[in-house]
Chains A and B, each alone.
Chain A
Amino acid sequence: MSRVAEEVLGAEGVSFSYGPAPALSNVSLSVAKGECLAILGANGSGKSTLLKLLDGLIFPSAGCVFFEGRPITEEALKGEFLVRLRSGLGFLFPEPDVQLFCPTVFDELAFGPLQLGLGAEEAAKRAGDLLRMLGIEALRDRPPYSLSGGEKKKVAIASVLAINPGVLLLDEPTNGLDPRSQVWLYELLLSLRGHGKTVIIATHDLSLAGDLSERVLVLDESHAVAADGPAGEILKDKGLLLKANIIHEHEHRHGDVVHRHSHGPFSTHDEHD
């Protein structure tokens, strides 16, 4: 099958397993340049695995993953293609402690640009710009382990932005952020999108998916694609979301009345009947 012209990332019949149990089975998708896609799924549905496959960090046991139309395989991923892919894709890990492995915040921000051969001066400039943009200049020489959870997340995001990737792969970006930082992140992503970045978010945060992305892909508990379509339609399909275990029925007490209705983590109460 020929890949779509505007596609930056794609997957064709991709399966993956860590052990005997599959982590992902027969997943296909295509992401166009400038698109914003949310991958929804319950814990363990394979969201993170799919993102890692798309980033060429692990390789599928069946099927194929494509970057700019070229298959990402262990053999192909070297030389010019490797540099192109690494500088084109930015990956945010859900756990900032994993992502922050350098001695200081500054080193953390300069790491990517240096590794990609941008030179010490450009790396320092980018690090400085990011520190200013995020308002964390005071943290410049602090070791990342001494930061608070929210600060760590900010630095982790900045460390990804430092290589100015065209595509952002974000694994649970709102994890561990307080409400104010969530708004901040939302605005940052919105403005990145406005500048033509492609954003792929793996999340179970329905509001983030709904507000930011025009398209949603749902992974169910059999690790396969349950739905792939416009955000508006899919987020309304209560049956589908319930089946994929993304929302759950929830017991509520309003006065003396006990009633049930479905609930996503951030849905509001106006849907009571």
Chain B
Amino acid sequence: MAEVILPEWLKGREEAPASLRAGSAGFIERSLVNFASTMKRLYVDGDYSSKKGALQAIEPRAKLAGFFFIIIAASLAHSAVFLGGVLVLAFALSFVSRIGPGPLAKRTFPAFVFTSVIVIPVIFGAVTPGREVLDVFGASVTGEGLRSAGFFLVRVAAMVSTAMLLSLTTREADFFRGLGRFVPSFFATALFLTFRYAFVLIKTAEDSALAMKARTIAGARAVESRTWFAGRAALLLKKAYGVAEEVGMAMVSRGFDGKLKGAAARALRGRDYIWLGFASFVLFLSFGA
């Protein structure tokens, strides 16, 4: 066995050169924030969806169908009152499902803010001609503009909060099981596997970003950063191929032959029918609203 001979410089202690100033690579920090928030969200969502609330107790198929009804209703409606009603409903349901309005508002917030910014020009006379109600530095704000913008915002908020309530109150397992009843099981299973292994890859990405951060002392140069990104992405792709092959084998070795045989779904109960009835009532109301 060859003896390991340490080079001399490794035996001493390193002093950082006084001229070196600490820096950071902002893009790595931003990537890290993305990874961390996605991971955190997964676990936090898990907590909400396993609470013993009214929505959580509904059978996945019925729940998905009901939520789709309400989302379609909010998409069809022409009335701001109706849309406001859906928004209020989503928040009311957040109480019933023991989540509370806070987390739901937090999920709805990004789309709401994004839309608010986008919709600003609509309120001005230049885009929406009409009766002037306000003058902002020479640009006139019209009543029609305000109404159009407000209406659009309410619709987006109603639809997004409903969709977010669905994801907050449904365990991933139930969600994919329910989805498998509406779309071909090929897609439901593939979607679940995507979800499952996205987190394996995010973990890899996060670890490599942390490793980069740990070694970045004086701020990375742009060229190095780009090479780093390319290397990590290539590593992820390679890992994706490797994992895909192994997962395929693991499925085959346990008898997977191309068709997934699912466990039987439980029968619908009273509360599932009530939910379906209620959601379809909302949908039918929207036809006239």
Residues of A within 8 A of B (CB): 52, 55, 57-58, 82-83, 86-87, 89-91, 93, 95, 97-99, 101, 103-104, 107, 110-112, 114-117, 120, 123-124, 141, 143, 145-146, 159-160, 163, 248-249, 260
Interfacial chain A residues near B193, Cβ < 8 Å = 101
Given contacts A98-B243, A107-B263, A123-B263, contact A146 B43 (CB under 8 A): yes
Q: Which of A99, A103, A163 interacts with B177 by CB under 8 Å?
A: A103
Which residues of the other chain, B, contact A260 by a CB distance below 8 angstroms?
Answer: 1
Contact across chains for A143 and B255 when beta carbons are under 8 A apart: no
Residues of A within 8 A of B249 (CB): 52, 57-58, 91, 93
Within the complex, what minimum Cβ distance (angstroms) separates A65 from chain B?
14
Nearest chain B CB to A75 CB, angstrom units: 16
Contact assessment for B173 and A115 in the assembled complex, using a CB-CB cutoff below 8 Å: no
Residue of A nearest to B264 (CB): A120
Known: A112-B254, A120-B264. Is A107-B1 also a contact (CB below 8 A)? no
The interface size of chain B toward A, counting residues with CB under 8 Å, comes to 31
**B interface majority secondary structure:** helix
Bound Cα distance from A132 to B173, whole angstroms: 22
Q: Name B residues whose Cβ lies closer than 8 Å to a Cβ of A.
A: 1, 43, 46, 50, 171-173, 176-177, 192-193, 196, 199-200, 243, 246-247, 249-257, 260-264
Q: B255 and A86: CB pair below 8 A? A: yes
Question: What is the minimal beta-carbon distance from A224 to any residue of chain B, in angstroms?
Answer: 23
In the complex, the answer to whether A117 meets B247 with C-beta atoms within 8 Å is no
Q: Least Cβ distance of B197 to chain A in Å?
A: 8
B264 CB contacts on chain A under 8 angstroms: 120
Q: How far is the CA of A97 from the CA of B260 in the complex (A)?
A: 20
Contact A114 B262 (CB under 8 A): yes
CB neighbours (8 Å) of A57 from chain B are 249, 252-253
Q: Which residues of A contact B257 (CB under 8 A)?
A: 82, 115
Instruction: Tell me which residues across on chain A come within 8 A of B171, comparing CB atoms.
Output: 141, 143
Whether the Cβ atoms of B43 and A98 lie closer than 8 Å is no
| Minimal beta-carbon separation of A53 from chain B (angstroms) | 11
A sample of 9 inter-chain contacts (CB < 8 A) reads A91-B250, A91-B254, A95-B246, A98-B243, A101-B196, A141-B173, A146-B43, A160-B254, A249-B1
Taking CB atoms, residues of chain A closer than 8 Å to B260 are 115
